[in-house]
Amino acid sequence: MIANFDHLPEHVLARARNTQLVIFDIDGVLTDGSLFYGDDGQEYKAFNSKDGHGIRMLLESGLEMALITGRQSELVLHRADNLKIPRNRIWQGYRDKRPAFADLLAQTGLKPENIAYVGDDVVDLPVMAQVGFAIAVGDAHYYVKEHAHWVTQTHGGRGAGREVCEMLLHAHGKLQAKLASYLT
């Protein structure tokens, strides 16, 4: 995990500072993209606990988040409940993610330039092209990386979510205080 974000270009940090809400895709971003199916047809996904803790730190620090995913899964709702992500900030089954993004804008009243989006595949590009801070995970499709403002060093489901959260907290001047709070 990257502990120091001071090396980031100012234009990236400026986009991060302007971010009030971050949207995460699920498959390939908060998971490694693998889908496991049991004999009964039940779908299983593995979420990274470090990503989850990063999300909690982000929410506790006053930044907001949402989830937009192309697949539909009860697992996503269970994970969101565990992380205290409000259900009205979760959109599932949106292969075309633009309607979900429009709903989010209407719900929050935020401007697109105040929103970050974290994606990994070409289906994420229509929303990434609209937000103020487009982020690709380290193992994203090459075309997504080409259109991102920033690319994480870590891969989807392997700490990229945590890296995004810590970078945003750093840009907002909240990371060091948040980390120090674990020593008191």
Q: Which amino acids are annotated as binding site for substrate, given as ranges?
A: 27, 56, 71, 79, 97
- Nearest-angstrom CA–CA distance, 3 and 169: 12
Residue partners of 171: CB distance under 8 A and separation at least 6: 5, 13, 16, 17, 19
Q: What is the pairing mode between strands 36-37 and 43-44?
A: antiparallel
Extract the annotated binding site for Mg(2+): 25, 120
Which H or E element spans position 106?
helix 98-108
Angle at 17 between CA 114 and CA 22, to 5 degrees: 50
Burial of residue 136 (number of CB atoms within 10 Å: 0-12, 13-18, 19+) = buried
